[in-house]
C-alpha cells in the first residue's frame, strides 16, 4: 500500500505563496477529504500532490521517494487523479475511455493483453458501467459520466486515487451514488482515497480523515467527530451554525444560520408557543 506525504511544501502564484512550509501525511487505506472555503488552496494542494503543479519549495513523497524525480509511468502505476470537470474527445466511447487507464502498463514490448482486457471489464463492472460500454461519453448523464471516469482511474490499478470535487454539477442522487462507489472501493479494496468536497455534511459522512484548510494553512485535521465543530466552521468558513449528530450516522451535521431566515423561524416558533403548541426542541451543539 503506497504512502503519500507532503514535506515543507511551498506553492505560489504570481510571486505570492499560497502554501508555505506545509507538512501533511495522508492515512493509508483511508478516505481523506479536504474542506475549506473557495480559494483556500484545496484543489491547488491536491494538484501538487499529483505532480500537476510544481512546488517552489519542499516535496511530495510517494512511497518515500520524491514524486518530481519519478517517471510518468511510475507515478501513474501508483497514483491516479480525476480532475474537476474532465472532458473526453467527442465520440469517444466509455470502453475506449476506460482503456486509457491501462496506458501506464503498455510499452513496445508489452502490448494489449488478456490481463488488460480483464482489468478494464472489472472496472466497468464495479462502477456499474458495463451496459454503457459502447455508449459515447458525451451521451451519458452527469452521474454516469462521472462513473465512467472513475472506471478509467480504477483501470490504472493504483493504490492511491485523488479526486478534485467529484460531485460538482451532480444532483443529490448522483452525488450519493458516486460517493457510495468510492466508499465501497475503499472498504473492499483498501484503496487510499483523497478528495476535495464542498459539502461539509457529506464530507463528515464519508471521510475517515478530514483536513480543514484556511488561507493556505491546515487549520485542523483528524476524524470528523474530533475536528468538525462550531468554532472550526466559524473560523474556516466564517459561518455561524449549529452542529448536531446526523440522525442516520451520528457524524457531525452542520446546520448553517441565515439571519433573515432564522428570525422568521424564531417568530414562527414564538407564535407556536403562544398558541399552546409544542415547542421545537433545542438543537444540541457539538
Angstrom distances, CA of residue 33 to CA of 93, 166, 221, 235: 31, 11, 10, 18
Phi then psi for residue 152, to 5 deg, are -65, -40
Specify the pTM. 0.85
Tell me, what's the pLDDT at 280? 52
pLDDT at 195 over 80: yes
Q: CB burial class (10 A; 0-12, 13-18, 19+) of residue 69?
A: exposed
Domains and CATH numbers, the chain: 1-78+158-239 (3.40.50.300), 91-154 (no CATH)
Residue 143: pLDDT band (50, 70, 90) is confident
| Dist. CA 34–CA 4, nearest whole Å | 15
Residue 136: pLDDT band (50, 70, 90) is very high
Which residues are CB-contacts of 107 (< 8 A; sequence separation ≥ 6)? none
Helix ranges, 61-141 (H)? 72-76, 94-99, 114-126
Give the tens place of pLDDT for each residue, 221-250.
999 999 999 999 999 999 999 999 999 999
Angstrom distances, CA of residue 227 to CA of 39, 212, 282: 21, 8, 23
User: Residue 260, CB half-sphere, CA atoms under 13 Å: how many?
Assistant: 0
Amino acid at each position: 500500500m503506497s504512502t503519500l506525504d507532503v514535506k515543507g511544501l511551498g506553492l505560489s502564484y504570481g510571486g505570492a505563496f499560497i502554501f508555505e512550509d506545509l507538512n501533511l501525511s495522508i492515512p493509508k487505506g483511508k478516505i481523506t477529504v479536504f474542506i475549506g472555503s473557495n480559494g483556500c488552496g484545496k484543489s491547488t494542494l491536491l494538484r501538487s500532490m499529483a505532480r500537476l503543479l510544481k512546488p517552489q519549495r519542499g516535496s511530495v513523497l510517494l512511497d518515500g521517494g520524491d514524486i518530481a524525480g519519478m517517471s510518468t509511468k511510475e507515478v501513474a502505476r501508483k497514483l491516479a487523479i480525476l480532475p474537476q470537470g474532465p472532458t473526453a474527445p467527442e465520440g469517444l466511447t466509455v470502453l475506449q475511455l476506460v482503456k486509457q487507464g491501462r496506458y501506464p502498463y503498455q510499452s513496445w514490448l508489452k502490448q494489449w493483453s488478456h490481463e488488460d482486457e480483464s482489468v478494464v471489464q472489472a472496472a466497468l463492472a464495479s462502477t456499474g458501467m458495463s451496459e454503457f460500454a459502447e455508449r459515447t461519453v458525451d451521451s451519458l448523464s452527469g452521474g454516469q459520466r462521472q462513473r465512467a471516469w472513475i472506471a478509467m482511474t480504477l483501470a490504472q490499478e493504483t493504490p492511491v486515487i485523488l479526486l478534485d470535487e467529484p460531485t460538482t454539477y451532480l444532483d443529490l442522487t448522483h452525488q450519493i451514488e458516486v460517493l457510495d462507489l468510492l466508499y465501497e472501493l475503499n472498504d473492499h479494496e483498501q484503496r487510499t482515497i483523497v478528495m476535495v468536497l464542498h459539502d461539509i455534511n457529506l464530507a463528515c459522512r464519508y471521510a475517515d480523515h478530514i483536513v480543514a484548510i484556511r488561507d493556505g494553512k491546515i487549520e485542523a485535521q483528524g476524524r470528523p467527530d474530533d475536528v468538525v465543530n462550531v468554532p472550526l466552521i466559524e473560523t474556516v468558513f466564517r459561518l455561524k451554525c449549529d452542529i448536531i449528530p446526523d440522525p442516520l450516522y451520528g457524524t457531525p451535521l452542520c446546520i448553517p444560520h441565515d439571519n433573515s431566515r432564522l428570525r422568521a423561524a424564531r417568530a414562527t416558533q414564538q407564535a407556536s408557543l403562544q398558541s399552546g403548541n409544542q415547542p421545537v426542541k433545542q438543537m444540541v451543539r457539538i
